[in-house]
Structure 1
Amino acid sequence: MTSGTRALAGDQPPTLTEWADQQLRQSILQGDHRPGDTLVISTLAEQLGLSATPLREALRKLASEGLVVLQSHGSARVAEVDLHEANEIYELRLILEPTALERAVAAGDAGYRERVTAAWNALDAERIAPASVHAAFHRELLSACDSAWLLRLATMLSDRAGLMVTVGLPDRPAGYNTAAAHRTLADLALAGDATGAAQELRRHLSTTRAALHMVLTGPARSEAD
Structure 2
Amino acid sequence: MAFAPSPIPSRTQYVLEAIKHSILTGGLTPGQPLVEAELAAGFGVSKTPVREALKTLAGTGLVVMSQFKGVTVRTVDAAMAHEVYDVRMLLEPEALRRSLARHASLEAAREALVRADEAADRAERSLANREFHRALYLPCGNPLLARMLDEVRDQAALVSTVAWAAVPSWEREAAEHREILRLALAGDADGAARALHDHIASFVQRAFPEETTHDQH
Distance in 1 between the 2:83 and 2:203 partners? 14
Partner of 2:131: 136
Instruction: Provide closer, same or farther for how the CA distance between residues 170 and 42 of structure 1 changes in structure 2, counting only shifts above 3 A.
Output: same
The one of 89, 94, 102 aligned to 1:94: 89
Q: TM-score, normalised to structure 2's length?
A: 0.75
Q: Which aligned pairs between 1:11-90 and structure 2 lie closer than 5 A? A: 15-71=10-66, 76-90=71-85
How far did 1:175 drift? Answer: 9.2
How far did 1:79 drift? Answer: 0.5
Q: CA RMSD in A?
A: 3.2
The one of 107, 120, 125 aligned to 2:118: 125
Unpaired segments of 5 or more residues in structure 2? 1-8, 212-217
Paired residues in the alignment total 202
The one of 107, 110, 114 aligned to 2:107: 114
Distance in 1 between the 2:171 and 2:207 partners? 15
How far did 1:47 drift? Answer: 4.2
Distance in 2 between the 1:101 and 1:64 partners? 26
Partner of 1:181: 176
Distance in 2 between the 1:48 and 1:107 partners? 45
Q: Which moved more, 1:84-93 or 1:101-110?
A: 101-110
Q: CA contact under 8 A between 1:29 and 1:132: conserved in structure 2?
A: no
Unpaired segments of 5 or more residues in structure 1? 1-13, 218-225
Instruction: Provide closer, same or farther for how the CA distance between residues 108 and 39 of structure 1 changes in structure 2, counting only shifts above 3 A.
Output: farther
Instruction: Provide closer, same or farther for how the CA distance between residues 150 and 120 of structure 1 changes in structure 2, counting only shifts above 3 A.
Output: same
The one of 129, 152, 156 aligned to 2:147: 152
Instruction: Provide closer, same or farther for how the CA distance between residues 173 and 60 of structure 1 changes in structure 2, counting only shifts above 3 A.
Output: closer
Q: CA contact under 8 A between 1:30 and 1:132: conserved in structure 2?
A: no
The one of 165, 168, 183 aligned to 2:163: 168
Instruction: Provide closer, same or farther for how the CA distance between residues 56 and 100 of structure 1 changes in structure 2, counting only shifts above 3 A.
Output: farther
Distance in 2 between the 1:97 and 1:143 partners? 10
Q: TM-score, normalised to structure 1's length?
A: 0.73
How far did 1:180 drift? Answer: 1.8
Superimposed CA distance per residue, residues 99-129 of structure 1 (whole angstroms, 9 cap, x where no aligned partner): 222223434644xx33222211111115985
The alignment-based identity, stated in percent, is 36
